[in-house]
Amino acid sequence: MESGNQSQAEFWTSPAGRAWVDHEASLDATMEGILAVLLDAAVFADGQDILDVGCGTGASTIAAARRVPAGRVLGLDIAAPMLERAGQRGQAEGVANATFRLGDAQVERLPPNRHDVLISRFGMSFFADSVAAFRNLAASLQDGGRMVFVSWDGLERNPWFSIPQQVAGQRLAVEPDPVSTAPGPMAFADPDHVLDLMDRAGLSDGRWETRQIDLTPPGGVAGAARLATHVGPAARLLRLCNATAEDRAAIAADIETAFAPFGQGDAVRIPSSVHVFSCRA
């Protein structure tokens, strides 16, 4: 596979990346509201050809395919373990108009002028060269075809990230990372930065809207805290510091305490802030 993002390819095929496969059901439940907002913003018409960038284990691709039963949806991702699982899900759920392809969207040679709409649930902020990626993906869209994608707002407006990072950092004596536009989940937190990337890539009609959407991890507050020690910033620090099982348990307990205000009976609703971006080829 040709790749301009080798570090990302290595991460998502490592044990750290495989954790997203292991916790697929919990993560899909957590992000259910965000996926619905993305699909509504895409405004599909039946029969369209859709490209899903950074499709992961396939939830977004399969959901899009169900909205265009006479169309087709291609899920593209850099992580082979995720795509293997995505293919299994599509087959098990009988979604015949969804297919999956291994490739780095920054450089992958896609059929030109093919797709009507590009969507991405948090997959667009990980490129080493975002302008090159936007240009490459735009070439696969029909003239006037739309890109619609969601990315995280700033850390301070997303306790799903900020609380686990703070708790784990305190326990493991690690300073927080500085704010950066380097590839990662928060790289597109500044909408003006993203609009500039779009402009430099020759895209038009760049727009954005910020939405507040509750995250809904299963298992209540305790389940949310456990999940946060397996994926996300706390999990990253646990790996980097070769933390012990005792560290993991203590961090999970402290995250649970910090998440307690978000509990609603046996459920939990953690506020999040995301940007919904759109532009045209």
For the chain, 281 residues long, the average pLDDT of each consecutive 10-residue run is 69 79 96 98 98 97 98 96 95 97 95 97 96 98 97 97 97 88 93 98 98 98 97 94 96 98 97 98 95
What pLDDT, in 10s, does the model give residues 231-256?
Answer: 999 999 999 999 999 999 999 999 99
Identify any residues that bridge with 53 across adjacent strands, giving them in sequence order: 76
Q: Is 240 helix (H, G, I), strand (E, B) or coil?
A: helix
pLDDT confidence of residue 55:
97
Q: Residue 143 carries which side chain, given as an amino acid letter?
A: D
Q: Which domains does the chain have, with CATH numbers?
A: 6-154+182-218+273-280 (3.40.50.150)
Predicted TM-score (pTM) of this structure: 0.95
Residues 6+ apart with CB under 8 A from 28: 35, 57, 59
| Tokens, residue 214 | 């509750």
Report d(CA 127, CA 147) in Å as an integer: 16
pLDDT confidence of residue 4:
66
pLDDT confidence of residue 2:
55
Identify any residues that bridge with 77 across adjacent strands, giving them in sequence order: 102
pLDDT confidence of residue 1:
54
**Alpha helix stretches (DSSP H) within the chain:** 6-13, 15-22, 24-30, 32-42, 59-67, 80-92, 130-139, 159-172, 191-200, 220-228, 233-240, 245-259
What pLDDT, in 10s, does the model give residues 100-114?
Answer: 999 999 999 999 999
